[in-house]
Structure 1
Amino acid sequence: MALSEHEQRLLDEMERGFYQSEADVLQAGSSEPRRLNYRSLVLGIIVVILGIGVLVAGVAVQLLWLGLIGFAVMLGGVILMLSRRSSGPLTVEDITSAGSGPKAPRSRESLSERMERRWDQRMEGER
């Protein structure tokens, strides 16, 4: 069944909007390349090696609590290795807000809610 001229124009407009929004999403996702933080990586490796040493010492002297501490230190080293820290310098606000007490929990949006909100913002911007 053939589309009328009005329906064809609407379909073309919808396709253009879809391709344009798809390009926006692809650009937003690749705006900042992920880089390794070598300082965290090296420090994490050192902490893991230290944890292995404590774990082996705990096994050698047959102290369970020392082995558990060694395992916890190793786990902390792995977490430190995998963490990505912000590359920007610390500001005065960062330092003062760090010790200001508990913060209100942020509301977490699901992926579908974020995508829907971004879509609505794009559509409102085109009007």
Structure 2
Amino acid sequence: MPLSEHEQRMLEQMERALYAEDPKFASALEGSGLRTYTRRRVYQAVAGFLLGIALLMAGMVAQQIWVSVVGFLVMLGCAVLAVTSWRKVPKPGEHPADGAHFRRQGRPRRSMMERIEQRWQRRRDEQQGGM
């Protein structure tokens, strides 16, 4: 359930106060958990990729095609996981893109559907006010 405008403003005020009171603590909290989690997933994907290479080679040596195919699929899946996880890692000092954290640029990013709904609501309000 999305936050109301009032709740978003209150959250931004609390985050600003936290940044003003203890900027070092606030910057330590802002993305380290996500960064650690995604970095760990990348490392797991690399380990899985190496396991896939081992399966591929073992299948070739044992002349078992299905083992080689499984190894290739493991390699492919782990490569996709590593690339998608790596793209999600926030840079140090950068805010995650989910809009829940304070942004120095101002208001949080909204999805396209939220913007369309707001425009629709504004038009409806204008039409009702003009009657």
TM-score (normalizing by structure 1): 0.41
Which of 1 and 2 has greater Rg?
A: 1
Which structure would you say has the larger RCO, counting Cα contacts within 8 Å and 6 or more residues apart?
2
